[in-house]
Amino acid sequence: MATESVHDVALTLHDQLPILQLVVPFLAAPLVMVVGAGRGVAWLIAFLASLAAFAISALLLAQVIDGGFLSYQIGGWAPPLGIEYRIDAVNAFLLFLISGVSTLVLPFAYESVKAEIAERNQALFYTCYLLCFAGLLGVTITGDAFNVFVFLEISSLSTYAIIAAGADRDRRALTAAYDYLVMGTIGATFFVIGLGLLYMMTGTLNMGDLADRIAPQTDNRTIQAAFAFIVVGMGLKIAIYPLHLWLPNAYTYAPSAVTAFLAATATKVAVYVLLRFSFSVFSPGFAFENYTYELIILPFAILAMFAASFIAIFQTDLKRMLAYSSIAQIGYMLLGLSLMNASGLAATMVHLFNHGITKAVLFMGVGALTLRAGSSFYASIRGMGRAMPLTAAAMVVGGLSLIGVPGTAGFISKWVLVQAAFEKGWWPVAFLIVLSSLLAVVYVWRFVETLYLHEPARDAAEAPLTMVVPIWITALACVWFGINTDITMTAANTAAETLLSGSTGLAEPSPWTSALPAGEASH
Amino acid sequence: MSDHRPATDDDLPALGRLLTWVDRPGSGTKLFRALGGFCAALLVIDLLISKHGHFHIEDVWAFYGVYGFLSFVCVIYGAKTLRFFAKRNEDYYGAQAIDREDYPLDQTGVTKEADDA
Amino acid sequence: MLESIPTAFLFFAMGLLAMAVPKGAARSALLVVIPLIAAWQVWTLPEGNLAPVTFFGLDLELMRVDRLSRVFGLIFCLIAALGNLYAWHLKDTVQQVAAPLYAGSAIGAVFAGDLVTLFFYWEGTAIASVFLIWARRTLGAYNTGLRYLIIQVGSGVILMAGIALLYAETGSIAFDRMTLGSLGTWCIFFAFGIKCAFPLLHNWLQDAYPAATITGTVVLSAFTTKLAVYALARGFAGTEILIYIGAIMTLFPIFFAEIENDMRRVLSYSLNNQLGFMVVGIGVGSEMALNGTAAHAFVHILYKALLFMSVGAVLYRTGKVKASELGGLYRTMPLTATFCLVGAASISAFPLFSGFIAKALILDQAAAHHHAIVWGALVFASAGVLSHSGIKIPFFTFFAHDSGMRPKEAPTHMLIAMGITAFLCIFIGVFPGTLYAILPYEVDYHPYTAAHVVGQLLLLCFALLAFGVLYRTGRHPAEIRCINVDSDVIYRKAAPSVVHIAARAISAIWQAHAGFWMRKTDLVLRGLYASHGPEGRMARVWPTGAMVLWIAILLGVTLAVIFVT
Amino acid sequence: MQHHIVLRVVTKLLCGLIVLFAFYVQFHGDYSPGGGFQAGVIMAVAFIAYAVVFNLEMAQKVMPARVAHKLAALGVLIYGGTGVVSMLFGYTFLDYGAFQPGHPSHGQHWGILAVELGVGVTVTGVMLTIFYAFTSRVPSISDEEW
């Protein structure tokens, strides 16, 4: 057993990075509860934790961006018995996105939370925020299937709480959170049922080990059913059309900072889990998996691209419009996924990232507008482009990126996606991608027109600096990643290759014999 | 059109005044004759120098002169023929076309009095 | 430090700065100084691939410096400085930003080591330059600019298509010598040809340049076509068809120039004719011929700019540019007239002027490679050049019959710009070695042999004599108010009438069906709003149960798909 | 419940015993049935029983809601802190070998004790928080109006 070994190699801080990625925000959460009497302190702890996590994620990404992986064994228990954190290009990229967005959203949140959430609840809010943040990181970083579920629940439960925190502004946040709770729980249950079925057939929960044990029994009905449960369960978290019904309300009524954070990260993490299970645990060669993607996910992805875009066009509330646009954009990610080839996966990965920062800009912009205009209805933000030139200009940049105008991040992902569709020979799909981008032009134009081409509805000052600066940093990131694709495309391509290489490199060579840790046995 | 029309030739710049010689009666003829003389001199020189052109015809005496003269005549008559076919009124492409319009005066120095450096 | 910045970026920065600096002397000075710095940078840059960038897995070379690109880059920087000096008086932000962007794009394209970079800058020149036309701010200029833009962007699109085809075929985007054969190379060739104003693809040039602003035309005349010449020299040197294309290019514009009334259009035709010489040089493709092309491009940029400057100065002072309205201006604009004469002598290739030492290289090579007919055409064209650029421009502008106008001499900054340019024209003509030293290949050629000088003088003087005879006998075509149709009649007159007829037919049919389709469209929009609008079924807040039902359905369907297949 | 004197006296007596039992369960958890979770629940029950029999205000005097909140967080910190301490010794997160380097199985005992303590504290805090959250909610319609 692990504990019977004498530990002879002291781990350095560098070796501990994978766990620190999670532990820092995770322990910051209770710390906020214990010491965080004042809002300033709570915010500061949250921000510092997030900043540290961001730095760590950057270090991790740098280590794995060229391929390869890091493995960390919790408590010294070797996989597959123990829980293993495994970092490769796929999740390092996502960790980078999550912690980056969080680090940008938190400065924005300072003023936004002050305005939207009652003073006495703010420390609790930051605690839940950190838990959600840590949960998302945990889902991403772990190499243990059940651990995914645990962290998923941690992030989901805290998400319900921080969405409900919007109730101080609009009571409908409560029902939105409650609906999400019911649906999210069903989704998580499906997921855990899937895991249960897998465990039943394989007796293991380590992802690499699972992959090895599933491979010889693909005809097994139980395993196939497990796949269906996992896809549908995660599909709900992703908000695959038509399982998106929780999303518009949750995003609309949540506090602005929460929406900005969740829109940029939560669904992305769910997509990641789906990717991980579809490619690492199950392998893309399985016939049933291909059929599922081609016959179910692909049509729904295309449906999402159009139906959600149409709904977005007709919305009267900017925040809600963006929520529907998110559903449409998720369609693109699933589309890339269902192409089941390397460039499609790279498109999904890069769109995860690019759409994340794009939506972060837009939702933060909406938050700033809401702060000054009172609400995000088109009627009340009319003409605010003149009163709040900086915020509005950043939102235009975000809007352009949402459409996919060359020179913005959005263009890169759509470009790669269209290329991938061509590569697969699916011309009509490529055409549909371009066509649906036109719908994005319409709804983006609607808010640009509202912001600029109307007489201002009210006098308002520019948003405070703590908001404008993060908004603009993110907006510039949209442009930067639209021009310099070094980081994003390299990471996405490596990630796609990693995923497509299936379980190789994931599994321990001989699971049971290597249960002992690397150290020598003492008795 | 400029309002600063110098009243007499004396108001002209020095170089301009010098050049008015060409407009004096007979000057044109003098120039033409000078040119003829120069051409004749060239023909003489052409006889004296040794030539090693790429083509034999280049070495023929007065080849370039004849070729130049004929070419020019060809160009003029060719152009006249072309004008017969290609000439159109200035509003051929419509009254708003670029060919029809004058250069906007407000972008020139004509209407501005004192923008001279 | 300067080495690490691609030269094009210096110009782009200049464009941005020009927006920030207030109008006036500071901005004008900025626009003159930075191109000079850029010229110095180009002069001192080491050869090699200085700014490699990876984009989408493509290896781009933003700065490929070798002797061919350096000579073009150098003259582009120089003429940008001179053009901006000429435009010192401008207080027009549009032009002052567009000009650096345009020049920067052209220079970027020259230093582009791969086709993708070339494409971006190629389109950059198209888009930036059209503002120099639109800056005239008249309806005619707007329409002309639009035609120009369509053709130029079209050239870029064809180039892109060619690059894509070539890439698919060879897997390389390197911008090196190509051989015509595949569709891809033909597309690229065609794209270059449009910008280089090949016969029948030429008309945008004569259409657009006279329509630009006074200072805009000077800048325009330098870059676009010479960029195309550079691209051809880089990509298609030694392609035989170019010899014949070039020969035709030298010929047909002569006749049009002779009867054209608008002086700037005369110069545009003359530009087209001069391009022909360069294209022939490229077609011949020997090292010396390419030297000739580069040298000719170099000097041509200078003297053509000088001619456009002098005509522009007249236009600036009188508001007129048509031969039928001009004449006798030497009295009050003697310096401008002198500079114009220097330009005219240069373009006509009089000995001791720059045209002489450059054109000779090309003629010599055409002859050396036994292209007798082409050689004959080029010599013919040399005499033709004299007729319109050498005689017509200075004679009918500054001499001939007195128009009665007594405008002031050109502004000082214009005179300085013209003076420097004229000086360069003569300097290069007198000391050809200075130019020969920077040409792409070693030069072993002496223009000032007795036979060559005498031959050239004979050619020109007898042509002058012919002019004298014809003019004095009244046989020289008169300058009259008219325009001449060229190939542009196809898209400016014929195509519109066809479209017009078609439009009428279609509109008749449309009228009949409009009501029907209007109702249909309206119905579709209403339907969409009813289903997707805020209160629509698709966007409504659904009960949680409905969602759970969906989960069940989706799970059922997924299971069915998995089990059945 | 002011008149249920027996109940009140017995509760007062039992509360101490319940707490004691909670500690027993807490510290024997690693050998016998039980552990941090059970101990935490039992501990909370002591306060809940007190609140039920006396009243909420009395209970909150002993254990204010604020403290319960902090306890919940504190337990997590103890749990996580254990892992951090093992990291400080150069071991992986939560590798209890760190607590007695020469003798890993002894280290294991120490580690589990610390972790279970964290669990116990958190469960106590959370149970009480939930209880307070429900009981301190003022009904929109008071009992008398039914």
ipTM: 0.72
Mean of the pLDDT values across residues D1-15? 85
Contacts of B2 in chain C (CB under 8 A): 317-318, 405-408
Q: What is the distance, to the nearest Å, from the Cα of residue B116 to the centroid of all Cα atoms in its chain?
A: 28
How far does D97 lie from chain A, in Å, by closest CA? 6
Residue A5 has pLDDT above 60, yes or no: no
Q: In 3-state terms, what secondary structure has residue A86?
A: strand
Residue A459 has pLDDT above 80, yes or no: no
A375 CB burial (10 A radius; 0-12, 13-18, 19+): middle
Is A399 a member of any domain? yes
* Banded pLDDT at C264 (limits 50, 70, 90): very high
Contacts of A83 in chain D (CB under 8 A): none
Beta bridge partner(s), residue A377 = A317
Contacts of D101 in chain A (CB under 8 A): 6-7
Q: Tell me the C-alpha distance between C252 and D132, whole Å.
A: 98
Q: Residue B116's pLDDT is what?
A: 44
Residue A26 has pLDDT above 90, yes or no: yes
Mean of the pLDDT values across residues C46-70? 85
Contacts with C429 (C-beta within 8 Å, 6 or more apart), sequence order: C346, C351, C352, C353, C354, C355, C356, C357
Is A112 a member of any domain? no
Please report, for residues A491, C242, C491, D46, the alpha-carbon distance to residue A94 in angstroms, rounded to integers and kept in the order given: 10, 55, 54, 46
Residue A206 has pLDDT above 70, yes or no: yes
DSSP A423-457: HHT-HHHHHHHHHHHHHHHHHHHHHHHHHHSS--S
DSSP A26-78: HHHHHHHHHH--SHHHHHHHHHHHHHHHHHHHHHHHHHHTTS--EEEEGGGPP
Is A358 a member of any domain? yes
Inter-chain CB proximity B39 and C320 less than 8 Å: no
Residue A508 has pLDDT above 50, yes or no: no
- Chain C stretch 523-552, residues whose beta carbon is closer than 8 A to a beta carbon of chain A: 528-529, 531-534, 536, 538-539, 541-542, 544, 546-548, 550-551
Nearest to A269 by CA among A239, A298, A248, A247: A239
Higher local confidence (pLDDT), B51 or A193? A193
Does A11 reach chain D within 8 Å, measured CB to CB?
yes
* B abuts A (3+ Cβ pairs < 8 Å): no
* Banded pLDDT at A394 (limits 50, 70, 90): very high
Q: What angle do CA D72, D74, D80 make, to 5 degrees?
A: 110
Q: Tell me the C-alpha distance between C349 and C429, whole Å.
A: 9
Q: What is the distance, to the nearest Å, from the Cα of residue C306 to the centroid of all Cα atoms in its chain?
A: 16
Q: Tell me the C-alpha distance between D63 and B65, whole Å.
A: 119
Q: In 3-state terms, what secondary structure has residue A132?
A: helix
Is A373 a member of any domain? yes
Mean of the pLDDT values across residues D111-121? 90
* A contact chains, 3+ CB pairs < 8 A: C, D
Higher local confidence (pLDDT), D127 or A407? D127
How far does D79 lie from chain A, in Å, by closest CA? 9
Beta bridge partner(s), residue C484 = B87
Q: Taking CA atoms, what residue in D is nearest to A23?
A: D80
Inter-chain CB proximity D98 and A11 less than 8 Å: no
* Residue reference for tokens 């540019």: C321
Q: Tell me the C-alpha distance between C367 and B53, whole Å.
A: 9
Q: In 3-state terms, what secondary structure has residue B102?
A: coil
Is D145 a member of any domain? no
How far does C176 lie from chain A, in Å, by closest CA? 26
Q: Could you tell me if B25 and B39 lie in one domain?
A: yes
Q: Taking CA atoms, what residue in A is nearest to D104?
A: A3
> Which range (A206-215, A495-504, B101-110) has the least confidence?
A495-504
* Banded pLDDT at C400 (limits 50, 70, 90): confident
> Which range (A91-95, A191-195, B19-23, C31-35) has the least confidence?
B19-23
Q: Residue D1's pLDDT is what?
A: 58
Q: Residue A321's pLDDT is what?
A: 93
Segments in A374-506 forming alpha helices (H): 378-381, 384-387, 389-403, 409-424, 427-452, 465-483, 486-500
Mean of the pLDDT values across residues C326-351? 92
How far does C508 lie from chain B, in Å, by closest CA? 25
Q: Residue A518's pLDDT is what?
A: 39
* Banded pLDDT at B103 (limits 50, 70, 90): confident
Q: Tell me the C-alpha distance between D5 and C522, whole Å.
A: 80
Mean of the pLDDT values across residues C131-139? 90
Pick C534's closest partner by Cβ from A182, A296, A314.
A314
Contacts with C363 (C-beta within 8 Å, 6 or more apart), sequence order: C375, C378, C379, C382
Inter-chain CB proximity A73 and D92 less than 8 Å: yes
Q: Tell me the C-alpha distance between A385 and C60, whole Å.
A: 39
For an interface test with B, give the residue of C252, C370, C406 to mutate (most B CBs within 10 A).
C406
**C247: its two tokens:** 């020969």
* Residue reference for tokens 């076309």: B97
Is D39 a member of any domain? yes
- Percent of chain A residues topping a pLDDT of 70: 93
| pLDDT per residue as tens digits for the range C147-176 | 899 899 889 889 988 998 888 888 888 899
Q: Residue D2's pLDDT is what?
A: 64
Q: Residue C551's pLDDT is what?
A: 87
Q: Taking CA atoms, what residue in A is nearest to D76?
A: A30
Q: Could you tell me if B64 and B105 lie in one domain?
A: yes
Q: Residue A125's pLDDT is what?
A: 92
* Mean pLDDT, all residues of chain C: 89
Residue D3 has pLDDT above 60, yes or no: yes
* Residue reference for tokens 């009267």: A316
Q: What angle do CA A280, A284, A286 make, to 5 degrees?
A: 115
> Which range (C376-390, C531-545, D64-78) has the least confidence?
C531-545
Contacts of C337 in chain B (CB under 8 A): 19
Axis crossing angle, helix D36-53 with helix D5-28, rounded to the nearest 10: 170
Q: Tell me the C-alpha distance between A149 and A192, whole Å.
A: 7
Does C563 reach chain A within 8 Å, measured CB to CB?
yes
Tell me: cis bond preceding A242? Omega within 30 of 0 counts. Answer: yes
Inter-chain CB proximity A72 and D76 less than 8 Å: no
Contacts of A235 in chain C (CB under 8 A): 554
Inter-chain CB proximity C558 and A236 less than 8 Å: no
* Residue reference for tokens 């532990």: A23
Mean of the pLDDT values across residues D48-68? 89
3-state percent breakdown (helix, strand, coil) of chain A, nearest 5? 75, 5, 20
* Banded pLDDT at A519 (limits 50, 70, 90): very low
Q: In 3-state terms, what secondary structure has residue C64?
A: strand
Start-to-end CA distance of chain C, whole Å, equals 65
Number of domains in chain A: 1
Q: What angle do CA C430, C435, C436 make, to 5 degrees?
A: 105
Q: Tell me the C-alpha distance between A54 and C252, whole Å.
A: 68
Tell me: cis bond preceding C351? Omega within 30 of 0 counts. Answer: no
| pLDDT per residue as tens digits for the range A36-80 | 666 688 899 999 999 999 999 999 998 888 878 888 888 888 877
| pLDDT per residue as tens digits for the range A244-272 | 889 999 999 999 999 999 999 999 999 99
Yes or no: say if A307 and C532 are a contact pair by the CB < 8 Å rule: yes
* Banded pLDDT at A3 (limits 50, 70, 90): very low
3-state percent breakdown (helix, strand, coil) of chain D, nearest 5? 75, 0, 25
Is D143 a member of any domain? no
Q: Residue C545's pLDDT is what?
A: 80
Handedness of CA B61, B66, B71, B72 (dihedral sign): positive
How far does A179 lie from chain C, in Å, by closest CA? 6
Nearest to A226 by CA among A175, A272, A277: A277
For an interface test with A, give the residue of D30, D91, D93 to mutate (most A CBs within 10 A).
D93
Does A31 reach chain D within 8 Å, measured CB to CB?
yes
Is B81 a member of any domain? yes
For an interface test with A, give the residue of C59, C160, C524, C554 to mutate (most A CBs within 10 A).
C554
Residue C261 has pLDDT above 80, yes or no: yes
Does A35 reach chain D within 8 Å, measured CB to CB?
no
Inter-chain CB proximity A4 and D83 less than 8 Å: no
| pLDDT per residue as tens digits for the range A108-135 | 999 999 888 888 888 889 999 999 999 9
* Banded pLDDT at B3 (limits 50, 70, 90): very low
Where is C58: in which H helix or E strand?
strand C58-61
Q: Could you tell me if B57 and B106 lie in one domain?
A: yes
Residue B6 has pLDDT above 60, yes or no: no
Yes or no: say if C56 and A418 are a contact pair by the CB < 8 Å rule: no
Q: Residue C498's pLDDT is what?
A: 84
- Chain A stretch 184-213, residues whose beta carbon is closer than 8 A to a beta carbon of chain C: 186-187, 190
Is A219 a member of any domain? no
Contacts of A227 in chain C (CB under 8 A): 562
For an interface test with C, give the residue of B9, B43, B103 to mutate (most C CBs within 10 A).
B103
B34 CB burial (10 A radius; 0-12, 13-18, 19+): exposed
- Residue D47's domain comprises 5-138
Q: Tell me the C-alpha distance between C265 and C321, whole Å.
A: 10
- Percent of chain B residues topping a pLDDT of 70: 85
Nearest to C394 by CA among C465, C329, C456, C457: C329
Inter-chain CB proximity C406 and B23 less than 8 Å: no
Q: Residue B10's pLDDT is what?
A: 67
Start-to-end CA distance of chain A, whole Å, equals 10
Inter-chain CB proximity D73 and A11 less than 8 Å: no
Q: Could you tell me if B54 and B107 lie in one domain?
A: yes
| pLDDT per residue as tens digits for the range C200-235 | 889 899 999 999 999 999 999 999 999 999 999 999
Pick A23's closest partner by Cβ from D69, D93, D95.
D93
Pick C555's closest partner by Cβ from A221, A232, A246.
A232
Number of domains in chain D: 1
Q: Tell me the C-alpha distance between A11 and A343, whole Å.
A: 38
Mean of the pLDDT values across residues D41-55? 92
- Residue B78's domain comprises 50-111
Is D69 a member of any domain? yes
Yes or no: say if C421 and C82 are a contact pair by the CB < 8 Å rule: yes
- Residue A353's domain comprises 290-500
Is D122 a member of any domain? yes
Is A369 a member of any domain? yes
**A60: its two tokens:** 């991790």
Q: Tell me the C-alpha distance between D67 and A451, whole Å.
A: 48
Start-to-end CA distance of chain D, whole Å, equals 20
Torsion, Cα C224 C230 C233 C234, to 10 degrees, reads -120
Residue B7 has pLDDT above 60, yes or no: no
Yes or no: say if A70 and A87 are a contact pair by the CB < 8 Å rule: yes
**D23: its two tokens:** 């500690």
Is A346 a member of any domain? yes
Nearest to A51 by CA among A108, A104, A127: A104
Beta bridge partner(s), residue C174 = C114
For an interface test with A, give the residue of C544, C549, C553, C557 to mutate (most A CBs within 10 A).
C544
Q: In 3-state terms, what secondary structure has residue B1?
A: coil
| pLDDT per residue as tens digits for the range A309-358 | 988 988 889 999 999 999 999 999 999 988 888 889 999 999 999 999 99
Mean of the pLDDT values across residues C300-313? 95
For an interface test with D, give the residue of A16, A21, A120 to mutate (most D CBs within 10 A).
A16
* Banded pLDDT at B111 (limits 50, 70, 90): low
Is A455 a member of any domain? yes
Pick D69's closest partner by Cβ from A11, A33, A72.
A33
Q: Could you tell me if B41 and B68 lie in one domain?
A: no
**C195: its two tokens:** 């910008």
Q: Could you tell me if B33 and B15 lie in one domain?
A: yes
Number of domains in chain B: 2
Yes or no: say if C551 and A243 are a contact pair by the CB < 8 Å rule: yes
Higher local confidence (pLDDT), C71 or A65? C71
Yes or no: say if A223 and A276 are a contact pair by the CB < 8 Å rule: no
* Banded pLDDT at A9 (limits 50, 70, 90): low
